[in-house]
Structure 1
Amino acid sequence: MRNSRRAFLRRGTAAIASATLLAGCSGGDATTETESFDGPVVEVGPDGRNVFSPGTNEPLRVEVGTRVRWAWRSANHNVAVRDQPADANWEGEPEIHHSGHTYEFTFEVPGEYHYVCEPHEGMGMVGDVVVESAEE
């Protein structure tokens, strides 16, 4: 019984490790926190709060062509797109992630983008990005 239990635990640990490694390959522009980045950063769940900062209380304003990074500061959050300009193609980061995860997107279409954290939308975890063309 012990040998089979140990073998089961080893197989389970290997499966979890494999799934974790593959999860990072599921698309989007996921990055690591240690990579250098010189654009605006939206903190996702800073200090364990259910907010985007900036974003929940005031929109993030950027120019067309700006790359934005979302950096997870606590667990169980996502970035689900609710509204965007008709010709935009932002898909957000719909999978749930935990502290240390980052996601980046370059906004090429001017307009207003509205997003939420689905698990915490009812608690007010919503955000906006306003993308302005350089001529405005």
Structure 2
Amino acid sequence: MSQVSRRAYLSRSALAAVGLVGLSGCSGAPEANSGTTETDGETPTATVSVGPDGEFVFTPGTDEPLTITAGTEVTFVWESDNHNIVVGNQPEGANWEGTPGDESELYDEGYTYEHTFDVPGEYHYWCEPHKSVGMIADIVVEV
């Protein structure tokens, strides 16, 4: 049995709790994968896992886009080592630069990075060292 660090366990537990809160208001109609949590009068938030379980994915984002509303603050949580975020395409007027540093700057498990997406449109991004194995994702920002 592998040993899970306390930080990884708490991070996964927090993500699971956010997911359960999101499910509590589900109706019969299917929705896009929003991953968004709104609280009264506060900025909506969403969380993206970076490299969960050592896989080369962003969750949500790789298998299906993360869909959020304009003004949502997204927190990217590193769940394994040696990843970054490089921004490819984004809407005109958007200012997302990805993780600090150049494309060779990598971050490890426990690192978090936040960005507020204010401009509606499609954002395409990837992890530079793992782009060739499919660590590519999308965010759709709606009005």
TM, length-normalised to structure 2: 0.66
Q: What is the percent sequence identity of the aligned residues?
A: 55
Q: Which of residues 31, 47, 55 is equivalent to 1:41?
A: 47
Number of equivalent positions: 98
Superposition misfits of 4+ residues, deviation over 3 angstroms:
none
Counterpart residue number, 2:88: 82
Higher relative contact order (CA 8 A, sep 6+): 1
Structure with bigger strand share is 1
* CA deviation after TM superposition for structure 1 residue 92, in Å: 0.9
Counterpart residue number, 2:28: none
Larger radius of gyration: 1
Counterpart residue number, 2:74: 68
Q: Which of residues 120, 126, 137 is equivalent to 1:127?
A: 137
Counterpart residue number, 1:58: 64
1:105 pairs with 2:115: yes
- Identify unmatched segments of 5+ residues in structure 1: 1-32
- Identify unmatched segments of 5+ residues in structure 2: 1-10, 12-17, 19-36, 38-44
Distance between the aligned counterparts of 2:78 and 2:88, measured in 1?
Answer: 19
* CA deviation after TM superposition for structure 1 residue 115, in Å: 0.2
Query: Which shows bigger deviation, 92-101 or 114-123?
Result: 92-101
Q: Secondary structure at the match of 1:78?
A: coil
TM, length-normalised to structure 1: 0.69
* CA deviation after TM superposition for structure 1 residue 73, in Å: 0.2
Distance between the aligned counterparts of 2:132 and 2:80, measured in 1?
Answer: 18
* CA deviation after TM superposition for structure 1 residue 86, in Å: 1.4
Distance between the aligned counterparts of 1:40 and 1:105, measured in 2?
Answer: 10
Q: C-alpha deviations, 1:5-53, integer Å up to 9, x for none?
A: xxxxxxxxxxxxxxxxxxxxxxxxxxxx7xxx96211000000001000
